[in-house]
A and B are shown apart, each in its own frame.
Chain A
């Protein structure tokens, strides 16, 4: 009886100002589900809407890991049509849970071959790529007349004792990327030894990237204000360009640099959700994500590199955060098989 009352009252409540229910099935609306970092220039999105006749709604659903997990939880009745933002470290989780349906986007043949994956089923489309690398604070190293580290091996040398801060591999995507990078570099049998040495060399672990970068890393804007004293941080190759672009006035060089031999390659994918209510619109949107217009526009919004052949890379990227020449990579199948076990061992090894 009481519950009945509530149910009667609710439609009235939700009728005022509801922006249309999730995945409303309106054939003219495309709903994109993504993580908080999704960003596109207004003009570019407007162009797409004009050309295609669709209206695009964007649902930002937390950080990358959260957004993927929520999409999996709601896969039978999804919140939208397209999901953007599952990366290679979590891809297997999405595919094993049947999150996506097959679709080969227009322009898939223009994606640089090294980023392609799932070639037999085409459930996901690569959209962007980035490198997770150790960043260093240039000022600190020139002040101390010390060469910045360049490789995984360097990080365990006594000269760099107590200088590195990284993120929890269980909760943070750069943290996980750095762990996977070390596992790729040293192999199944030796990565744990490497982390024992890192721990002995005073690596500090915090929960998330924001804290590592803004509060602990001495090279970032926030870190300078906080008198942070860790001149090495696990971040992205595109962080130094961001330090230039978001500074007023813009400095001539970036205050931070990238340790080239510590990088792990991350690729982000998008896909058509399995039970999308507007599959046709979703497909059109996936095509759009691979157009030159979008791929050119993407780097300065999301601080990632394009995957499309011939897409433009901003000058600041080339100067201050070039892509790693020889990043560590891991086959998706390998990540799928070992990721959870690695994270468990890492947790008991490093955090306990």
Chain B
């Protein structure tokens, strides 16, 4: 409990407070009156309205498309499932710069849709919504599917035997059990889309702007710190309100569930209906997720004989002092460190949250989610001006990058572990304690075996977030060791065929690295007998 709180105090609350107060101080001392002036400007009101509207629409659309996917991944056994599960997570880690390019190629002028049906969606709000589904599909599949695969199907079968219709059994038995996970997934998707940055910036053009994009413009381009500070506060309040509502709706619904090993619940689809569902999900994945990725791969192969890939190994290629390929190593190192930090902090926080209840703990729970709702730009600038004194002068230290990434990873770890931890029957712990086990041993012998899978999923998330994270990383200046997304952005920032091709090649490598890493995580089983 102490460690997560300290972590957030030092690396989140303090930097953000520093930059916001710098913005509000202005020339005449403390000016809280500015908040109202800025918040009621018509253009700012419009930004707030658009932000909320597109986030709601994106969340609804994502749930609609991804929930059948979650079901298929949880309940069906089919060839290539593990690979596919890794593939659907890949979009989540791609730098938005790259995704924007891919989507323009699909939806823009002369894109695939344009050639087939003469439809152009670039610079419409649809492009933004579709890209958000692309990014967040994995969030739903992993959080909801993870729990769904551990629900005992026999409970539903028992209800059927007792005379409930198929739908009634699902509504009364499965849905309540899934509720918290669905709510958690919806919340995450909403927070992500509410604070969406790269997608909106590239696909929305200069006409659509979310709060996050506006904060970035005000801070880093226009240098109007006061407006940026107010917008940060507005976003903070909005996200806080969302979290409060979320906490109120799910709190009472997390109950002890009977969880079983995920391997036992999935079986081959039976009957036309199930096969049709499986086919439908596969088609939607192919169109929405694989197609944009395929465009990137195709473009990376544009030069004869893997020319772009070969160019990546040259260190006289111009843009970097080191061969761009070295960025792969940098990225992996950062991601491992960030995952370790996120799992440690998130795990401790989740454990603390399951052990105790009460108002204070609920506040702590919400606090852990806040980093998702505060712009990376704000945090990055905050780091710059807050963490500049010994012993905390970390501005050029490599550890700052994984720390910033872990900040985003922790909420994932907490969200994925908490439903499972809370579902562990408390009496098991009590029994163990009565039998003389120390608290640590209770955790090790009772909780850990049950949450190992959730822990792996959480670690996978944290790893993926770190691998593709671009916002905060860009803000932290460091000696010349770029991460993959940063290297891609630098290559895209220069004219010339070879640079563009290398950017596509590097993006393809990023996809592969990520997919492989996720596959490995899926395979990690320290306990050969499965989960229990």
Contact = CB atoms under 8 A, between A and B. Distances in A.
Interface string B305-339: 00100000000001101000000000000000000
Contacts of B307: 248
B206 interface: yes
Contacts of A113: none
Interface stretch (A102-110, A119-127, A213-221, A287-295): A213-221
A36 B110 CA distance: 31
A70 B19 CA distance: 12
B10 A247 contact: no
A340 B395 CA distance: 30
B221 A225 contact: no
B206 A36 contact: no
Interface stretch (A12-20, A143-151, A264-272): A12-20
B248 interface: no
A5 interface: yes
B477 A60 contact: yes
B396 A20 contact: yes
B299 A18 contact: no
B385 interface: yes
B219 A58 contact: no
A9 B220 CA distance: 32
A221 B501 CA distance: 8
B105 A6 contact: no
Contacts of A246: 318, 494-499
B390 A21 contact: yes
Interface in A194-210: 205-210
Interface string A33-53: 100110100100000000000
B10 A245 contact: no
A79 B395 contact: yes
A227 B114 CA distance: 11
A9 B206 CA distance: 44
A73 interface: yes
A63 B337 CA distance: 27
Contacts of B303: 248
A242 B495 contact: yes
B273 interface: no
Nearest to B218: A170
Contacts of A349: none
A60 B480 contact: yes
Contacts of A17: 398-399
Q: How large is the interface on A (under 10, 10 to 19, 20 to 34, 35 or more residues)?
A: 35 or more
A212 B422 CA distance: 50
A296 interface: no
Given A93-B223, A343-B222, A247 B497 contact: yes
Interface string A305-333: 00000000000000000000000000000
A57 B399 CA distance: 17
A62 B7 CA distance: 26
B485 interface: no
B217 A22 contact: no
B100 interface: yes
Interface string B1-44: 11101110110000000000010000000000000000000000
A1 B108 contact: no
B358 interface: no
B202 A21 contact: no
Contact of A220 (B2, B391, B489, B495): B495
A214 B492 contact: yes
A172 to B, nearest CB: 8
A232 B496 CA distance: 16
Contact of A207 (B7, B104, B206, B385): B206
Given A39-B318, A171-B221, A18 B397 contact: yes
A36 B500 contact: no
B202 A207 contact: yes
Interface in B97-142: 97, 100-101, 104-105, 108-111
B475 interface: yes
A5 B6 contact: yes
B381 interface: yes
Interface string B489-523: 11011111111110000000000000000000000
Interface string A58-80: 11111101100110111001010
Given A65-B220, A247-B498, A301-B318, A7 B110 contact: no
Contacts of B206: 168, 170-171, 205-207, 351
A239 interface: yes
A207 B207 CA distance: 9
Contacts of B395: 21-22, 74, 79
Interface in B63-118: 97, 100-101, 104-105, 108-111
B425 interface: no
Given A36-B493, A229-B110, A247-B498, A22 B100 contact: no
A22 B480 contact: no
A225 B295 CA distance: 10
B430 interface: no
A210 B393 contact: no
A15 B183 CA distance: 41
Given A171-B217, A235-B495, A243-B497, A2 B6 contact: yes
A21 B393 contact: yes
A238 to B, nearest CB: 8
A337 interface: no
A284 interface: no
A247 B110 contact: no
A227 B111 contact: yes
Contacts of A10: 10, 391-392
A226 interface: yes
A211 B496 contact: no
B475 A226 contact: no
Contacts of A242: 494-496
A227 B122 CA distance: 14
A81 to B, nearest CB: 13
Instruction: Identify which of B3, B100, B109 gathers the most chain A CB atoms within 10 Å of its CB.
Output: B109
Nearest to A238: B495
A132 to B, nearest CB: 13
Contacts of A6: 3, 6-7, 9-10
A255 to B, nearest CB: 9
Contact of A59 (B110, B388, B477): B477
A66 B376 CA distance: 14
A70 B101 CA distance: 28
A4 B105 CA distance: 52
A168 B202 CA distance: 12
Instruction: Identify which of A17, A168, A211 gathers the most chain B CB atoms within 10 Å of its CB.
Output: A211
Interface in B328-357: none
B394 A73 contact: no
Given A66-B220, A205-B205, A58 B480 contact: yes
Contacts of B271: none
Nearest to B390: A21
A340 B222 CA distance: 8
Nearest to B204: A207
B201 interface: yes
Contacts of B385: 73-74
A11 interface: yes
A111 interface: no
A243 B480 contact: no
A227 B106 CA distance: 11
A56 to B, nearest CB: 10
20 contacts: A2-B9, A5-B2, A9-B6, A21-B394, A21-B395, A21-B396, A36-B489, A62-B477, A69-B220, A73-B22, A79-B395, A207-B202, A215-B108, A222-B500, A225-B105, A227-B110, A228-B109, A246-B496, A248-B498, A343-B222
Which 5 residue pairs across A and B have the least CB separation, nearest first? A246-B496, A6-B6, A227-B110, A221-B497, A59-B477
Given A72-B223, A211-B104, 20 more contacts: A2-B1, A3-B6, A11-B391, A13-B399, A17-B399, A19-B396, A39-B319, A59-B396, A62-B220, A79-B396, A170-B221, A170-B222, A208-B201, A211-B202, A214-B101, A215-B108, A221-B499, A226-B101, A246-B494, A248-B307
